[in-house]
Amino acid sequence: MRVIIAAAGTGGHINPGIAIANKVMEKEPDSRVVFIGTDRGLENDLVPRAGYDLKRIDAHGIERKLTVQNIKNLYATFKSINVAKRILEKEKPDVVIGTGGYICVPVVMAAKKLNIPVVLHESNAFPGIAVKLFKKKADKILVGFKEAKERLVDAKNVIVTGNPIKIKKLELSDDKKKKIKKDLGLDEDKFMVLVFGGSQGAQSINRSLIEIIVNKKNKNYQIIWAAGPEQYKKIQEKLEEVNVDINNIKDVKIVPYIYNMEEVMNASDLVVCRSGAMTITEIACTGKPAIFIPFPFATENHQEYNARVLVNAGAAEIILDKDLNSEILSNTILKIVKDKKHLKEMSENALKIYIPDVEEKIYKEIKELVK
C-alpha cells in the first residue's frame, strides 16, 4: 500500500498519524508511507524519529480576522495546493489520510483534484474546521468519539473508531504500584494524584498547585507533578521565594517531564490535567478518575467538549480555567479522595468510554477503501 499522511503542528495531530502509519507497516511491511507537513511544527522531530519521510509545504492556519499576515498565510496555503499535487503525482498514493488541522486543506484539495481516495481522522469530540470543510468530500471520516459523529450529521461517511494512543492500561500488581511510587520518592501506600499540563506545562494549573503545596493542603494525598520543561525553572524560583526546596517537599515530587508516563498514570489514583483528545482517550483507557481543566484558547473550545465526554459519563470533574484557583482545585481533589465509592464508579465509567483495537479498526476502514 502507498500512503500519504497529512499531519502537522502538534502531537495531537501527528501522533495519531504515526500510529496509523505503524499499523499499515505492521500489516503490510512492503508499504510506503510518506508524511506531508510544514517546516515549523513538531512533525519535523516526531516523523523522522518514527522512521518516515517528511515532505514539506508552506501551509498555515488562518485566523478569523483581516490582517496583512493572515492574507499572506492564506495566499501561501492555497499556493501550496500545487506543491502538494506534485508530491502526490510523484508518490502515487493509494490513499491520502489527514489527521485534522490546516495541513489537510491543501493536501486534501490536491488529492481530490487527482481523484485519490481521502480518509480523515478527527480525534476531538468537536470536529475541527478542516474536517467540517471536507465532510462531504472525504470518502471516510473516522472519529475518536461518538459525540463527533453526532456533530457531523450531514457528512458523507462517518465511522467511530476511537483514537490511537501511546499510553495503554497496564495490569499492575499492588507491589508494582508501590515500587513505582517508591521510585518517584513518594509514599508507597498513600493516595497519589498525577498532575500535568501537556509537554509545555500549564501556567494556571501550576499557579494553583504552588499555593496548594506552600499552604500544605495536600495532607490527605501526595502529588507527582510534571510541570513542563519550560515551567519547571519558574516554579523552582517561585518556591524558593517562600523558602521551599523543590527537591525536598513532603508528599510532593515535581519534575520537568515524566518519561515513564504509562507506568505513572497506571499507578496513580487520580489525574489532574488539560483535556486534549489523546489525554482524554488515555485516561479512559487506563480507567483513571480525572479532574479536567480545559485549555481555554483551544480552537473552537474543543478541549471543553472533550472533557465533557467523560464528565457526562460520570468519569470526571471539570473546572474551567477562568474559575480555577487553589481553593477550588484543592476542594475538588479532596472530595474525590475521601469518597472511595465514587472514585471506583468514576474509574468504571471511564473504562466504558474507551474503544479498544483502535488501530486495527482504522486499518480495516482504510483497507476497504483502497480495495
User: pLDDT tens for residues 127-161?
Assistant: 998 999 999 999 999 999 999 999 998 898 999 99
C-alpha cell, 93: 498514493
Q: Which CATH superfamily is domain 2-162+356-370 in?
A: Glycogen Phosphorylase B; (3.40.50.2000)
Residue extent(s) of CATH 3.40.50.2000 domains in the chain = 2-162+356-370, 174-353
| Between residues 187 and 66, the one the model is more confident about | 187
User: pLDDT tens for residues 167-193?
Assistant: 999 999 999 999 999 999 999 999 999
Can you give the pLDDT at residue 228? 85
Cα three-residue angle 115-75-40, rounded to 5 degrees? 85
Query: What is the band of 62 on the pLDDT scale with cuts at 50, 70, 90?
Result: low
Rounded Cα–Cα distance for residues 152 and 143 (Å): 10
C-alpha cell, 140: 471516510
Q: What is the mean pLDDT of the chain?
A: 94
Rounded Cα–Cα distance for residues 293 and 131 (Å): 25
Whether residue 83 contacts residue 103, with contact meaning beta carbons closer than 8 Å, is answered with no
Query: What is the band of 300 on the pLDDT scale with cuts at 50, 70, 90?
Result: confident
Can you give the pLDDT at residue 199? 54
Give me the CATH code for the 174-353 domain, please. 3.40.50.2000
Rounded Cα–Cα distance for residues 4 and 94 (Å): 8
| Between residues 199 and 329, the one the model is more confident about | 329
Can you give the pLDDT at residue 201? 59
CA-wise closest residue to 246 among 221, 209, 276: 209
Rounded Cα–Cα distance for residues 193 and 271 (Å): 6
pTM: 0.91
